[in-house]
């Protein structure tokens, strides 16, 4: 073969392919990690994979900023506003964990979506749960925010039951914050709605809370000796107790009203309330309350200077106390009976009752009560001795006159 021909064949022969020509353009380090073709040592590949995992972990972390962004991206502006308020201290500094952010995001978006789709009750339920959640954490301002949302939705859609439940939540929060007037206002509204709409289970729940508030207000007024104002709250308390069918509370209110009437020197009105207290206590078979009512009636009759009626109810009280083995009531009944009999100058009965009182005082192991009982018994016995002396003088009067005549030489 000639030299020219060999040179032509070498020119026409295809050049050997390079690895880069068959594999395409060089891969980036991230692509090499993804495909496993790193073209480097296994150690380098492990480091690249480890770095990727760390990046993914950082990207997966939930923050308040990421939650806000997600809410806006998913078209939940109201949920974003609610979450922004919570996470940016509108209601004070609230400590949140990462899982709290996730829970809040899901709840807030569910609440907003439910309302938008027309499931108003479901949306209110979500907001009420959030209110309860923050109330449980003692974060009452935040809880109030969600209870108010419940109230607004309930009022807008004329759902009285939901409004009443919102009143219960708001009243509880305000009470927890020490704002008694605001708590009272919300409880009263809840009671009014529940009574008007015959929502008995809710009425009983709210009524119980309102009674407690009324009692606090009346107690404070009594301490300040503002008896007329205290009386008004006790009467409000009596009404709520009646409509909620709370017989124990109703009886207590009657007793408290009666005692204030006594202080205000109105025993006739006091007596009517104390008798009502006795009727309620007997109908419910409340033993302690029966003895308290009988004591109050006796004291009221005594204030009216109707001593026989006072003694009658004290004897009834003593029988009741004996039947129930109530030593404290026995001690009280015998003391008052003894003193009243002594006042009536029925000294034998006075001594009998005050001796029993002395024994009960010793059983109670109350030193001051024992000392007072000893004094009272001594006074009663002195009265009994005077009776004995008078009897002796009266029975022997003729003999004494004859003896004196002889002494005088008549």
Q: Given this model, what pLDDT does residue 36 score?
A: 42
CB 315, CB 345: distance < 8 Å: no
Rounded to whole angstroms, what are the CA distances from 155 to 159, 163, 165, 185?
Answer: 6, 6, 12, 17
Residue with the larger pLDDT of the pair 151 and 2? 151
Q: Domains plus CATH for the chain?
A: 326-389 (1.25.40.10)
Q: Mean pLDDT throughout 4-19?
A: 42
Q: Given this model, what pLDDT does residue 40 score?
A: 39
Model confidence pLDDT, tens digit, residues 328-338: 999 999 999 98
Model confidence pLDDT, tens digit, residues 194-233: 999 999 999 999 999 999 999 999 999 999 999 999 999 9
Q: Given this model, what pLDDT does residue 380 score?
A: 83
pLDDT band at 311 (very low <50, low <70, confident <90, very high): very high
Q: Mean pLDDT throughout 293-306?
A: 95
Q: How large a percentage of the chain has pLDDT more than 70?
A: 79
31-40, 254-263, 352-361: lowest mean pLDDT where?
A: 31-40
Q: Report residue 285: phi and psi, to 5°.
A: 55, 50
Residue with the larger pLDDT of the pair 377 and 167? 167
Q: Is pLDDT above 50 for 21?
A: no
Average pLDDT over the chain reads: 84
DSSP for 38-103, please give it: -SS-HHHHHHHHHHHHHHHHHHH---HHHHHHHHHHTT-HHHHHHHHHHHTTTTS-----HHHHHH
pLDDT band at 182 (very low <50, low <70, confident <90, very high): very high
Residue with the larger pLDDT of the pair 29 and 13? 13
Q: Given this model, what pLDDT does residue 60 score?
A: 61
Q: Given this model, what pLDDT does residue 377 score?
A: 87
46-55, 85-94, 145-154, 159-168: lowest mean pLDDT where?
A: 46-55
Q: Is pLDDT above 80 for 352?
A: yes
Q: Tell me the three state secondary structure of residue 272.
A: helix
Q: How far apart are CA 281 and CA 272, in angstroms?
A: 14
């Amino acid at each position: 073969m000639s030299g020219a021909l060999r040179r032509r064949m070498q020119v026409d022969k295809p050049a050997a392919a390079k690895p880069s020509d068959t594999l395409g353009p060089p891969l980036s380090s991230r692509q090499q990690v993804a495909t496993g073709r790193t073209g480097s040592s296994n150690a380098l590949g492990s480091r690249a994979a480890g770095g990727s995992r760390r990046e993914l972990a950082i990207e997966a972390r939930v923050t308040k900023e990421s939650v806000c962004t997600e809410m806006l991206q998913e078209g939940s502006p109201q949920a974003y506003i609610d979450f922004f308020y919570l996470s940016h201290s509108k209601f004070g500094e609230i400590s949140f964990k990462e899982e709290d952010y996730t829970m809040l995001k899901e709840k807030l978006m569910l609440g907003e979506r439910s309302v938008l789709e027309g499931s108003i009750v479901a949306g209110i339920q979500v907001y009420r749960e959030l209110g309860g959640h923050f109330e449980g954490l003692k974060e009452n301002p935040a809880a109030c925010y969600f209870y108010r949302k419940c109230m607004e939705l309930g009022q807008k859609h004329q759902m009285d039951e939901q409004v009443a439940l919102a009143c219960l939540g708001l009243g509880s929060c305000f009470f927890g914050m020490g704002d008694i007037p605001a708590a009272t206002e919300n409880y009263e509204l809840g009671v009014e709605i529940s009574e008007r709409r015959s929502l008995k289970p809710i009425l009983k729940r709210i009524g119980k809370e309102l009674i407690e508030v009324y009692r606090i207000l009346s107690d404070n007024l009594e301490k300040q000796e503002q008896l007329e104002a205290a009386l008004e709250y006790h009467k409000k308390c009596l009404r709520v107790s009646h409509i909620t069918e709370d017989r124990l509370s109703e009886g207590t209110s009657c007793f408290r009203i009666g005692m204030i009437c006594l202080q205000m020197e109105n025993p006739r009105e006091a007596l009517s309330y104390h008798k009502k207290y006795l009727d309620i206590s007997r109908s419910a078979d409340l033993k302690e309350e029966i003895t308290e009512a009988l004591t109050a009636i006796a004291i009221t009759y005594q204030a009216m200077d109707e001593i026989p009626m006072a003694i009658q109810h004290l004897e009834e009280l003593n029988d009741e106390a004996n039947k129930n083995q109530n030593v404290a009531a026995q001690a009280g009944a015998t003391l008052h009976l003894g003193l009243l009999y002594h006042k009536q100058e029925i000294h034998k009965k006075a001594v009998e009752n005050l001796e029993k009182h002395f024994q009960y005082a010793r059983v109670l192991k109350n030193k001051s009560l024992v000392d007072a009982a000893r004094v009272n018994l001594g006074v009663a016995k002195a009265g009994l001795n005077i009776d004995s002396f008078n009897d002796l003088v009266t029975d022997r009067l003729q003999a004494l006159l004859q003896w004196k005549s002889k002494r005088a030489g008549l």
